[in-house]
Chains A and B, each alone.
Chain A
Amino acid sequence: MAEAVESPGDPETTTSRPLMRDLKAVGKKFMHVLYPRKSNTLLRDWDLWGPLILCVTLALMLQRGSVDSEKDGGPQFAEVFVIVWFGAVTITLNSKLLGGNISFFQSLCVLGYCILPLTMAMLVCRLVLLAEPGPINFMVRLFVVIIMFAWSIVASTAFLADSQPPNRKALAVYPVFLFYFVISWMILTFTPQ
Chain B
Amino acid sequence: MAAVDDLRFEEFGDTTTSLEANPDATTISIEDPGETPKHKPGPPKGLGREEDDELLGNDDSDKTELLAGQKKSSPFWTFEYYQTFFDVDTYQVFDRIKGSLLPIPGKNFVRLYIRSNPDLYGPFWICATLVFAIAISGNLSNFLIHLGEKTYHYVPEFRKVSIAATIIYAYAWLVPLALWGFLVWRNSKVMNIVSYSFLEIVCVYGYSLFIYIPTAILWIIPQKAVRWVLVTIALGISGSVLAMTFWPAVREDNRRIALATIVTIVLLHMLLSVGCLEEHVLLHPGGVMAQSTCEITGGTKCEQRSLASAWVSTVLLLQKTELLEGVVGTFKTNSISPGM
Contacts and interface: CB of A to CB of B under 8 A. Distances in A.
B59 to A, nearest CB: 29
A94 B128 CA distance: 13
Given A168-B90, A178-B132, A73 B155 contact: yes
Contact of B159 (A69, A72, A167, A171): A72
Q: Is the interface of A mostly helix, strand, loop or mixed?
A: helix
B202 to A, nearest CB: 16
Interface in B52-94: 79, 82-83, 85-86, 88-91, 93
B157 interface: yes
A178 B128 contact: yes
Contacts of B91: 167
B156 A190 contact: yes
A183 to B, nearest CB: 11
A75 interface: yes
A21 B132 CA distance: 40
Contacts of B240: none
Contacts of A124: none
B86 A98 contact: yes
Contacts of B93: 171
Interface residues of B, number: 24
A97 B83 contact: yes
A167 B156 contact: no
Nearest to B283: A72
Contact of A182 (B79, B125, B132, B153): B132
A18 interface: no
Interface in B155-190: 155-159
B156 A189 contact: yes
Contact of A189 (B82, B125, B154, B159): B154
Given A99-B83, A186-B156, A167 B90 contact: yes
A79 B86 CA distance: 29
A74 interface: yes
A143 interface: no
Given A97-B83, A97-B85, A168-B90, A191 B132 contact: no
A175 to B, nearest CB: 6
B156 A171 contact: no
Nearest to B132: A182
Contacts of A168: 88-90
A99 B155 CA distance: 41
A178 B127 CA distance: 12
Given A170-B90, A185-B136, A79 B129 contact: no
A148 B63 CA distance: 51
Interface residues of A, number: 26
The residue in A73, A168, A171, A181 that gathers the most chain B C-beta atoms within 10 A of its C-beta is A171
B158 A79 contact: yes
B77 to A, nearest CB: 15
Contact of A74 (B79, B82, B86, B155): B155
B139 interface: yes
A75 B158 contact: yes
A105 interface: no
A126 interface: no
Nearest to A79: B158
Contacts of B121: 94, 97-98, 171
Nearest to A72: B157
A169 interface: yes
A84 to B, nearest CB: 14
A97 B86 contact: yes
Contacts of A99: 83, 86
Contacts of A178: 125, 128-129, 132
A178 B91 CA distance: 20
Interface string A36-75: 0000000000000000000000000000000001001111
Contacts of A94: 86, 121, 125
The residue in B86, B155, B156 that gathers the most chain A C-beta atoms within 10 A of its C-beta is B156
Nearest to A185: B136
21 contacts: A72-B155, A73-B155, A73-B156, A74-B156, A74-B158, A94-B86, A97-B86, A99-B83, A167-B89, A167-B90, A168-B88, A174-B125, A175-B125, A178-B128, A185-B136, A186-B156, A189-B139, A189-B154, A190-B156, A191-B154, A191-B156
List of 10 A-B pairs having minimum Cβ-Cβ separation, nearest first: A189-B156, A97-B86, A72-B157, A167-B89, A170-B90, A75-B158, A72-B155, A98-B86, A74-B156, A171-B90
Given A171-B93, A189-B154, 12 more contacts: A72-B158, A72-B159, A74-B156, A94-B86, A97-B86, A97-B121, A99-B83, A167-B90, A178-B125, A181-B132, A191-B153, A191-B155
